[in-house]
Structure 1
């Protein structure tokens, strides 16, 4: 390994350029989850069971794909560094592939078209996302600077979720719905993807690569060695557990707004109150990081999320105004739960590379992104099992059916106590994290 002298602070342009990548992360992570299943079942006429497989398959593919991409990028040697060529490839391929997902035929070929196009789009996204997450470990050796970099990223992620999450359905409606409306929406999202991904490639062009290390080369060997890193293992387990809790809560938003608050439209407010604080509170969490350390900040934000989520169990019919402050409190905790692990991950990677002389950043982040995806995907399934056990009655179209008190209680607990318990279960795990911030 050849060390490069400690870098100066990254420029504001690099902060902003790196953060742009999270606009793409937000768009691709949010829009398919919101609209693709409905597009398959209610626009293309694909059976619900088959549509569910089409939507979930790329998440399972990520488990295999992402570590492989990470391993390959670890072995990449170019004048652009090891990560940016992969990010550029993903940034060029994903926007048109995303449009193709919503540009296919109807009828019997619809499911096959969407399945193939979405799988290719997920592959292109992995080519960008895995190296993108690895970058902070290689462009600065200052843990505090990494926290600043990630704070910009998380704020951009929240902004992207709001723009994509609100803008995509609005464009479908404005374009008249149906296949034309979804195609217009796909073009809008493709622009967000291109701006975010290519902006990150261009914005980090002046960022240095501070170490030159050898890559282990063998994926299986590298995975085993990465898992032996205790700080990485602890951080990954805790983060995935919390991703599961967040997945449960996000899936519970429409149920809680409809059957507990009695206001279906309140879901938009709840979603905004959960995500928007990240744009505003990053300076607060940065100050906590610098004064108390990242682990302490992560523990604080997790407890804040858990307490706020548990308190939502008291929500009553028509009480949207009363619960919104609690959701904002949850959102403040959620922002910290995103920022701190993502700024601790490059610290772990840098420490591993310094000790081993091996480049494993790509494998670390490949496993990380795959595990996070699974955690967020399993969360809605866990909520569905809870509702099924409570006798929740499904409906069709815009019909809202009456639910038993047991089902309503399950909805209430599924949005509040269940995610709180899951998130707080990660606190003892994070308490075992040991890696000096300095």
Structure 2
């Protein structure tokens, strides 16, 4: 249920906020990119702090659960306001509204997501069970991303104009609230584990986490792939309207991107159980990169071929969500076994900071590509774009993400914890 909240907030701003700024408020592409990036960049600082605070929270409900409710309700309220800015007849004031409210949303999200991601390492100590738990989480995440990402443009277009964005924001805020309350109530009987954050300041804890080699490698891989995903999400609306030129194709593209995850998440889980998480993660990454590269033909290929390429991206994306989330608790648990201290909150704080940075920089990087292509902003959503802008949209959606994903594999290839855990599973007595 927590994935309902994280999926909605993680998807809709990345999909809708940049077009809202450039094509409804008339904000220049570079400035719009900064508005999207800066609040998320703030999370890079805030997420480790949120993790440290949740590690040190003392509450009969557990260290994490109170934050699910407090921060989750604040997140839903903030999201309802994000697209609900009044008509101020000033581009500066309207842009400032978006920046301030999005900053408040990002702050609330940090205090929801970090405890939420930390909980699996405390709910179960079993290596295989964590993969199964993450499989369910990613399946619900994919369903939510599909639901939110596919319906948000439909709601906007059905109502039209700024009112369309306002109604869409209210609906998505309600969806977030459902996930928040469900996660809080649904974990009331779950094992909460013993949280012992260990001695030292936050800086001391971060220094220890930074010294965990496998964690650094896994995080770098995931951040680069989050950057690639952020570029593609930001480009969906632009690719649909300015390259494909088809009504409702944004929804179809998004369904192609996320839909395979609903069917293939259990398949990737089975592959991981057979060949190991790292090898399966590598395979999923290559499939994602291949699909993105094929999407570079969007300007000349039939629309159906573009949809098929994006569906191939979705096949890889399913695995690229399952495995890093299943490997993160392994890293935190290995540290706890070695040190006797539970730093899951700090690990997940740094992790979610990296993920947030990647997903935030993705739209910012895509906005920079738009600016280099001379993209023309407006307030009506139907501004004719030069050929250079159309080419920039295509490359920013396809080639750039493919290169980022392939580059990330340099770090993943050096991750070794998965091999060690496989040996322990195969030879438990020798490991003991």
With the shorter chain as reference, the TM-score category is 0.7 to 0.9
The one of 245, 248, 253 equivalent to 2:236 is: 253
Structure 1 residue 46, shift from structure 2 partner? 7.4
2:43 matches 1:59: no
Return 5+ residue gaps in structure 1 as ranges. 1-19
The one of 311, 314, 317 equivalent to 2:294 is: 311
Tell me the distance in 1 between the aligned counterparts of 2:266 and 2:155. 33
Tell me the distance in 2 between the aligned counterparts of 1:304 and 1:41. 32
1:380-403 alpha-carbon deviations (Å, 9 max, x no partner): 3333444544x4442533435363
- Check conservation: 2:34, 2:364, Cα contact below 8 A: no
Structure 1 residue 169, shift from structure 2 partner? 3.5
Structure 1 residue 217, shift from structure 2 partner? 4.7
Q: Which is further off, 350-359 or 158-167?
A: 158-167
2:53 matches 1:72: yes
Q: 1:230 to 1:370 in 2, by over 3 A?
A: same
Counterpart of 1:17 in structure 2 is none
Q: Which is further off, 233-242 or 366-375?
A: 366-375
The one of 407, 411, 415 equivalent to 2:397 is: 415
Once the two structures are superposed, the pairs formed by residues 18-97 of structure 1 within 5 Å of their partners are 20-37=1-18, 53-97=34-78
Q: 1:43 to 1:412 in 2, by over 3 A?
A: closer
Once the two structures are superposed, the pairs formed by residues 15-414 of structure 1 within 5 Å of their partners are 20-37=1-18, 53-107=34-88, 110-175=94-159, 177-179=161-163, 181-258=164-241, 260-263=243-246, 265-315=248-298, 317=300, 319-389=302-372, 391-394=373-376, 396=378, 397-399=380-382, 401=384, 403-404=386-387, 408-414=390-396
- Check conservation: 1:262, 1:318, Cα contact below 8 A: no
1:358-410 alpha-carbon deviations (Å, 9 max, x no partner): 22111111111111121122223333444544x44425334353634x65554
Structure 1 residue 114, shift from structure 2 partner? 4.2
Structure 1 residue 35, shift from structure 2 partner? 3.8
- Check conservation: 2:33, 2:363, Cα contact below 8 A: no
Indicate the SS of the match to 1:31.
helix
Q: Which is further off, 50-59 or 65-74?
A: 50-59
Q: 1:316 to 1:178 in 2, by over 3 A?
A: closer
- Check conservation: 1:70, 1:363, Cα contact below 8 A: yes
1:159-218 alpha-carbon deviations (Å, 9 max, x no partner): 212222233343344456434x44433332222111101211111222213445343351
- Check conservation: 1:262, 1:317, Cα contact below 8 A: no
1:276-318 alpha-carbon deviations (Å, 9 max, x no partner): 1111101101111111111111011011112222223344546
- Check conservation: 1:247, 1:380, Cα contact below 8 A: yes
Structure 1 residue 352, shift from structure 2 partner? 0.7
- Check conservation: 2:135, 2:269, Cα contact below 8 A: yes
- Check conservation: 1:73, 1:131, Cα contact below 8 A: yes
Structure 1 residue 134, shift from structure 2 partner? 0.8
Tell me the distance in 2 between the aligned counterparts of 1:145 and 1:310. 34
Counterpart of 1:7 in structure 2 is none
- Check conservation: 2:4, 2:141, Cα contact below 8 A: yes
Tell me the distance in 1 between the aligned counterparts of 2:234 and 2:28. 21
Tell me the distance in 1 between the aligned counterparts of 2:176 and 2:267. 29
Q: 1:333 to 1:80 in 2, by over 3 A?
A: same
Q: 1:217 to 1:101 in 2, by over 3 A?
A: farther
Tell me the distance in 2 between the aligned counterparts of 1:410 and 1:106. 31
Tell me the distance in 1 between the aligned counterparts of 2:412 and 2:335. 19
2:413 matches 1:431: yes
1:229-249 alpha-carbon deviations (Å, 9 max, x no partner): 011111001111111222222
Q: 1:255 to 1:356 in 2, by over 3 A?
A: same
Q: 1:131 to 1:323 in 2, by over 3 A?
A: same
Return 5+ residue gaps in structure 2 as ranges. 426-432
Structure 1 residue 41, shift from structure 2 partner? 6.7
- Check conservation: 2:29, 2:371, Cα contact below 8 A: no
